[in-house]
Amino acid sequence: MKIYTKTGDKGTTALFGGTRVPKHHIRIDSYGTIDELNSYIGLLRDQNIDNHSATTLITIQNKLFTIGSILATDPEKAILKNGQKRLTIPTIQIEDIELLEKEIDQMNQTLPPMTNFILPGGHQTVSFCHIARCICRRAERLATALYEISPFEPSTLQYLNRLSDYLFVLARKLSQSLKAEEVKWIPEKNSKL
């Protein structure tokens, strides 16, 4: 497999199915942000974290490749005029979303209840997790914008929404296991000028 093809030298790239679009197209921005998220999750997985969380993150990284392929597919080229699929791409299943929910519920059982918003930080590993959460939210925003103009499987959006929740709770769990302080956000009282 050749790394450079020179086909994108004029600012376009090919989707699955062969359609060429500008590299700044929302579809490219969407799956490019998924790739960025996947890289940050890899960075998080490379930290000194428990084996269960690391294994779950590998599962998530695989699902993000699935989402990337969904977003990178030209829907017009994926389906023939008679409604049959031309391109076979994987999808996000309800079980994938339920796995994230199960993980969130299990982690939440060990955490103190939240009474305030929490400032990101406290430990480098926790910060990496919060960065991944923020990128996940951006990926979700881009994917929902793409969905409005070119719909795809709604389970993809559900997975991204649940994944950002998972990353938030994982950050709290990592804070707990690393004995990092969770700094609460306390809104300042309005002062009169």
177 with 129: CB under 8 angstroms? Answer: no
Q: What is the predicted pLDDT for the residue at 80?
A: 45
Strands 20-22 and 12-14: antiparallel
Q: What is the predicted pLDDT for the residue at 71?
A: 92
Compare 29 and 25 and report the one with higher pLDDT: 29
Chain centre to alpha carbon of residue 63: 9
Mean pLDDT of the chain: 88
Q: Cα separations (Å) of 190 from 116, 183, 187, 193?
A: 18, 21, 9, 9
Q: Which of 158, 30, 175 is nearest to 100 (CA)?
A: 158
* Span of 94-98, 165-169, 187-191 with lowest mean pLDDT: 187-191
Q: What is the predicted pLDDT for the residue at 73?
A: 85
* Span of 47-51, 64-68, 139-143, 150-154 with lowest mean pLDDT: 150-154
Domain ranges of the chain: 17-182
Q: What percentage of the chain carries pLDDT values higher than 90?
A: 63
DSSP line for 81-129: TTS-BSS------HHHHHHHHHHHHHHHTTSPPP-S-EES-SSHHHHHH
Task: Give the tens place of pLDDT for each residue, 80-126.
Answer: 445 555 666 789 999 999 999 999 999 999 999 988 898 899 999 99
- The C-alpha atoms of residue 175 and residue 39 are separated, in whole angstroms, by 21
Q: What is the predicted pLDDT for the residue at 17?
A: 65
Task: Give the tens place of pLDDT for each residue, 137-152.
Answer: 999 999 999 999 999 9
At the fourth CATH level, the homologous superfamily of domain 17-182 is Cobalamin adenosyltransferase-like (1.20.1200.10)
